[in-house]
Amino acid sequence: MESGFQFDWGAAIQSVPYLLKGIPYTLLISFGGLFIGFVIGIVMGLLSISRSRLLRWPATAYIEVFRGTPILVQVLFIFYGLPDIVGGPINALTAGIAAIALNSGAYISEVVRGGVQSIDKGQSEAGLSLGLSRSQTFWSVIWPQALRRMIPPLGNQAIVSIKDTSLFSVIGVGELVRQGQIYIATTFTAFEVYFMVALMYLAITLTLSFLLRLVERRGLAST
């Protein structure tokens, strides 16, 4: 039995201007959340390797909770559940950024922990032997080396977080997928529209991957 379906390039191209309206929201949620998540990741990653259990355990609990639960559940909890606690509604855009920040922060914490622990202990001993304090040794000797090693996994997390924003259409954020859903509801061209949505995500992630490879090469060249 033959299918009568034919891809309508005209419908696909006509959807582009409408879909482009969602890209600023996708990028804002992604990079706004990732920036906050990076800060959270540094703090929690360092706390997770602290010698103090009082500092280590809360960080470990945070990492396990947000790595062990789906980001869709997390954003639904933030958007629908937290208002009962805070006593007021939470903006969908704010909920999306918070979900990316908390979720990516947990994964970045592990990247930070692994990066710092990958540096040979001799580097720390060398810094201390030069008369640097422990904090000076860490930030001047250990951290720069660890950060270079973190670039590939941090880049992977950034790409994952960008794709995760597609889930936030469930709370009404006007990102790329949500714009596609609205457009499909009036044109009934689901295949063509979602095809263009996929291409736009691919363009964003490939561009980011290219930029990250440049940064990684420069980092390796400077060592």
**pLDDT of the residue at 93:** 94
Task: Pick 216 or 116 by higher pLDDT.
Answer: 116
For residue 218, is pLDDT > 90? Answer: no
**pLDDT of the residue at 86:** 86
**pLDDT of the residue at 118:** 93
Alpha-carbon gap, residue 108 to 213, rounded angstroms: 19
Which among 79, 88, 35, 36 has a CA at the least distance from the CA of 169?
A: 79
Q: Where are the domains of the chain?
A: 23-173
**Contact yes or no for 104/42 (Cβ under 8 A):** no
pLDDT band at 70 (very low <50, low <70, confident <90, very high): very high
Calculate mean pLDDT across residues 171-182.
92
**pLDDT of the residue at 90:** 93
For residue 37, is pLDDT > 70? Answer: yes
**Contact yes or no for 106/67 (Cβ under 8 A):** yes
Backbone angles phi, psi at 144, to 5 degrees: -60, -40
Half-sphere exposure of 204 (CA within 13 A, CB side): 23
CATH topology of domain 23-173: MetI-like fold (1.10.3720)
Which among 69, 63, 70 has a CA at the least distance from the CA of 37?
A: 63
**pLDDT of the residue at 174:** 87
Alpha-carbon gap, residue 96 to 72, rounded angstroms: 10
Give pTM, 2 decimals. 0.91
Alpha-carbon gap, residue 5 to 55, rounded angstroms: 60
**pLDDT of the residue at 33:** 97
Mean pLDDT score across all residues of the chain = 91
Calculate mean pLDDT across residues 76-100.
93
**pLDDT of the residue at 134:** 85
**pLDDT of the residue at 209:** 92
**pLDDT of the residue at 127:** 83
Q: How many residues does the chain have?
A: 223
For residue 219, is pLDDT > 70? Answer: no
